[in-house]
Amino acid sequence: MRSAPLVSVIVPNYNYAPTLRLCLAALDAQTHRPLEVIVVDDGSTDDSVAVAESFDVRVLRTPVNSGPSVARNIGAQAARGEVLMFVDSDVALAPDAVATAVAILDREPGVGAVCGNYDTVPLLPGGLVKDYRNLYRHWWYRLAEGNITGFLATAILAVPARVWAEVGPWNPRLTQSEGADVGQRLTDRYEVRMTSTVIGRHDDDATLRIALSKVFTRTRVHIPFFLDRRRVAGVVTSAESGTGLAAWLAAATTPLPLLAGPAWAALPLLLLVLWLASDARMYRFVRSTRGLPYTVAYAAMHLLVNLTIGVGVAVGLVQWLVSRRFRRLYDTTAAA
């Protein structure tokens, strides 16, 4: 009988001491053994290193703050396991998460990676913005369940070491949306499985400014990947867009009643209704889990996110047209 494989869990961290403690406690409670946990601290200025050292884990450090791709690469190079599992320091896995991911990889040799989902409840309470971000991503990852192409949910990702030797490393130049880059290489060669059977609670952004800034940046930097590779993952799936065109048009036509008369108010209202209808399944899901008043607030947040994505797409397209460096942002040969 084949013994259980050693799994190396690689946890990149930068100034996430409160959630890092919960992340490592959850790894300590995993049912799968043997387990090697490697925390790679990326120049934290809080007490993250002290938190990590209070657990039975290996602690490594980047020379300077360099981003999650560099931290993950350092951890992968030091790992000894047959399976590498990348887990962000703001995620606390369910006790069976590692065991479930390993079981999928073991029984399905054609699967080169397993991506996990977020629980519907955030790791730490924090208000509407955090709850919206967490619930939205849970919903879209659920829709994507099965074999996925061109994007990765990088916060919970299990990859056999032999596969990582072929498709790695993470592109050190990318500090945002690095999953699209690795996802292209993985899905070109292997099946990649998204599943909610591998799940963890996630601590997302608590303020609107940070959340919208990330949405804008991630949408913008996905444009070269989307246009050069002709993959929808960067702009549609991974950039959290849903069907945002109606939302953008509704916003653009809002001044029409003032310019052309009250009758034109029907147009932005119709476009807004079309936008809401395009995500009707999602809103039914939100209502079933949170109730109607919350769903109204959720829809308002979702509208802001879709409008921000529209701005990100526009800016990204302009940069793609005028900047050769930007067009080559996802040149995978530079990551090798």
pLDDT of residue 177: 75
- Give the C-alpha separation, 170 to 67, whole Å: 11
What is residue 240's predicted lDDT score, i.e. its pLDDT? Answer: 42
pLDDT for position 233:
41
pTM: 0.85
**C-alpha closest to that of 301 among 279, 328, 318, 322:** 279
Report the C-alpha gap between 97 and 35 in whole angstroms: 12
Neighbour tally for 56: CB within 10 Å: 8
- Judge contact between 276 and 245, C-beta under 8 A: no
List of residues 6+ apart from 33 with CB closer than 8 A: 4
Distance CA(26)–CA(95), nearest Å, equals: 7
What is the structure's pLDDT at 235? Answer: 36
DSSP annotation of 175 reads: S
Assess contact for 313 and 221: CB atoms under 8 A: no
d(CA 20, CA 12): 10
Residuewise pLDDT in 10s, the chain (336 residues): 568 999 999 999 999 999 999 999 999 999 999 999 999 999 999 999 999 999 999 999 999 999 999 999 999 999 999 999 999 999 999 999 999 999 999 999 899 999 999 999 999 988 899 999 999 999 989 988 999 876 778 899 999 999 999 998 998 988 777 888 888 889 889 999 999 999 999 998 888 999 899 888 888 887 777 676 544 343 334 334 445 555 555 555 555 555 566 665 666 667 677 777 778 899 999 999 999 999 999 998 988 888 888 888 888 888 888 888 777 765 555 444
Whether the Cβ atoms of residue 148 and residue 238 lie closer than 8 Å to each other: no
Domains of the chain (ranges; CATH) run 7-204 (3.90.550.10), 235-335 (no CATH)
**CA angle in degrees (0–180, nearest 5) for 326-329-331:** 135
Rounded Cα gap, residues 289 and 241, in angstroms: 21
Cα–Cα distance measured from residue 105 to residue 160, given in angstroms and rounded to the nearest whole number: 8
Give the tokens for residue 18: 């409160």
List of residues 6+ apart from 9 with CB closer than 8 A: 27, 35, 36, 37, 38, 85, 86, 87, 98
Is residue 257 reached through a cis peptide bond, with omega within 30 degrees of 0 on the bond before it?
no
Start-end of H helices in 160-291: 161-167, 178-189, 208-229, 245-252, 256-260, 266-278, 280-290
Residue 174 phi/psi, 5-degree rounding, is -100, 120
pLDDT confidence of residue 88: 97
H/E segment holding residue 146: strand 146-147
